[in-house]
């Protein structure tokens, strides 16, 4: 039984993380924390997230009141802003904890990315170099030995799971850059009220073309250039991605199926579609990434979908936790 802290438990992804870990057979949530300025300090978890009424009896505490010396803590989950995680990760690592960080603070090696895309200077280059990128289906060996697992971004997870098998098998035409159109629900913007994620304001609109923070993350870890066009949709949760690529000559539909099967046949949270294409409905409140595709004239359109709060955040974090400690990979997730 591992003792766990969860910081940032009042947010949407944080709440899903609390739910997963609360029902985990090999984990015990010692405390849940929010920032020192949060209005949720002192409230019960179920008073903020009503769907867990009479299920989860935990109270939010201020992280400023926490003294690690007095705690027997094995694992810390950080469902926090990148600025907060940037400063907290060194503290928890130095205290002997295994850390799973859901922010972007330790996802990419190039420190310049943090200056250009996140507007802060990364101060912990040595820790950054040792961070393991937690794309669970592709980094199992590294995760098993990690002290710090940086859980990928929601868009980056969906895109990489769809593209990486084809990149690994080198069947994409190198002269054509994959074009990625991805649509996310408004929960991706977080729980804090904002005019940009109000359902009265949201239509269906692209944003941050060429400048979205997940673009360099995708490029660094996928190893190829891409054009990433994110959209905000007027729905609560989920991501659906369509990726257009050109294949090398003589690549058939069966070849692509076989490639996906080769890499994902033993991966329980990846579902490959043959007769249909994925949709938001197939993944909403589910921990899967669903992948389908269609081919015509050497062009392939891959469709991938996931719940941004689950496979794009909390479910993948718990999946990494299970891999790290040798538990069944889907423990508490399925």
Encoded tokens for 94: 């130095």
Given a cut of 70, is residue 197 above it in pLDDT? no
pLDDT digits (tens, 9 = 90+) for 77-107: 999 999 999 999 999 999 999 999 999 999 9
According to the model, what pLDDT value does residue 118 have? 92
Given a cut of 60, is residue 193 above it in pLDDT? no
Between CA 252 and CA 176 the distance in angstroms is: 18
The alpha carbon dihedral of 280, 185, 203, 272 has a sign of: negative
Given a cut of 60, is residue 302 above it in pLDDT? yes
Mean pLDDT over all residues of the chain?
Answer: 93
Encoded tokens for 267: 């991966």
Higher-confidence residue: 314 or 186?
314
Is residue 97 annotated as part of the catalytic site, yes or no? no
Encoded tokens for 305: 């979908």
According to the model, what pLDDT value does residue 202 have? 74
Give me the CATH code for the 154-308 domain, please. 3.30.360.10
Between CA 216 and CA 226 the distance in angstroms is: 9
Q: Is 26 left (phi over 0), alpha (psi -120 to 50) or beta?
A: alpha
Higher-confidence residue: 65 or 224?
224
pLDDT digits (tens, 9 = 90+) for 54-78: 899 999 998 876 666 557 899 999 9
Between CA 177 and CA 159 the distance in angstroms is: 14
Residue 288 burial (C-beta neighbours within 10 Å; 0-12, 13-18, 19+):
buried
CB 321 within 8 A of CB 100: yes
Mean pLDDT of 178-194: 81
What's the whole-model pTM score? 0.94
Between CA 159 and CA 145 the distance in angstroms is: 25
CA distances from 83 to 13, 79, 105, 116, 271 (A): 17, 12, 7, 14, 34
Higher-confidence residue: 149 or 275?
149
Confidence of residue 203 (pLDDT cuts 50, 70, 90): confident
Task: Please identify which of the residues 154, 158, 245, 320 carries the catalytic annotation.
Answer: 154
Confidence of residue 321 (pLDDT cuts 50, 70, 90): very high
According to the model, what pLDDT value does residue 71 have? 72
Confidence of residue 194 (pLDDT cuts 50, 70, 90): low
Ordered by start, the domain boundaries in the chain are: 2-152+312-325, 154-308
In Å, the largest CA–CA distance within the chain is 64
Query: How many C-alpha atoms does 93 have within 13 Å on its Cβ side?
Result: 19
According to the model, what pLDDT value does residue 199 have? 64
The alpha carbon dihedral of 319, 322, 327, 331 has a sign of: negative
Quick one: which of 63, 17, 61, 19 has its CA closest to 40? 61
According to the model, what pLDDT value does residue 35 have? 85
pLDDT digits (tens, 9 = 90+) for 230-267: 999 988 899 999 999 999 999 999 999 999 999 999 99
pLDDT digits (tens, 9 = 90+) for 24-53: 999 999 999 998 888 889 999 999 999 998
Residue 169 burial (C-beta neighbours within 10 Å; 0-12, 13-18, 19+):
middle
Quick one: which of 333, 252, 269, 325 has its CA closest to 2? 325
According to the model, what pLDDT value does residue 27 have? 97
Which residue reads 């094995």 in tokens?
A: 74
Helix (H) or strand (E) holding 182: strand 179-184
Mean pLDDT of 104-129: 94
Confidence of residue 218 (pLDDT cuts 50, 70, 90): very high
Encoded tokens for 69: 């010396």
Selected from 3.40.140.10, 3.40.109.10, 3.40.50.740, 3.40.50.720, the CATH number assigned to the domain covering 2-152+312-325 reads 3.40.50.720
């Amino acid at each position: 039984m591992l003792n766990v802290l969860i910081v940032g438990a009042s947010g949407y992804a944080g709440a899903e993380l609390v739910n997963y870990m609360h029902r985990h057979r090999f984990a015990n949530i010692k405390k849940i924390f929010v920032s020192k300025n949060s209005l949720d300090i002192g409230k019960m978890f179920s008073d903020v997230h009503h769907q867990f009424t009479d299920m989860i009896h935990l109270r939010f505490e201020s992280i400023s009141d926490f003294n690690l010396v007095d705690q027997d803590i094995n694992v810390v989950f950080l469902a926090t802003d990148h600025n907060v995680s940037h400063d907290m990760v060194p503290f928890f690592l130095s205290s002997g904890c295994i850390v799973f960080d859901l922010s972007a603070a330790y996802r990419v090696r190039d420190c310049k990315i943090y200056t250009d895309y996140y507007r802060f200077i990364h101060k912990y280059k040595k820790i950054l170099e040792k961070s393991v990128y937690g794309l669970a289906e592709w980094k199992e060996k590294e995760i098993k030995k990690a002290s710090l697992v940086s859980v990928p971004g929601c868009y980056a997870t969906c895109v990489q799971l769809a593209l990486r098998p084809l990149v690994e098998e080198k069947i994409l035409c190198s002269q054509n850059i994959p074009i990625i159109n991805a649509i996310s629900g408004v929960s991706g913007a977080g729980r804090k009220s904002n005019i940009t994620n109000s359902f009265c304001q949201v239509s269906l609109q692209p944003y941050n073309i060429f400048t979205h923070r997940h673009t360099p993350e995708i490029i660094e870890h996928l190893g190829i250039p891409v054009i990433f066009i994110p959209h905000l949709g007027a729905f609560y949760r989920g991501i659906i991605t369509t990726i257009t690529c050109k294949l090398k000559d003589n690549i058939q539909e069966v070849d692509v199926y076989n490639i996906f099967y080769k890499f994902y046949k033993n991966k329980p949270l990846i579902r490959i579609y043959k007769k249909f294409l994925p949709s938001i409905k197939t993944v909403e409140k589910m921990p899967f990434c669903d992948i389908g595709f269609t081919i015509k004239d050497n062009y392939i359109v891959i469709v991938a979908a996931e719940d941004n709060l689950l496979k794009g955040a909390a479910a993948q974090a718990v999946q990494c936790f299970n891999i790290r400690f040798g538990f069944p990979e889907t423990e508490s997730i399925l």
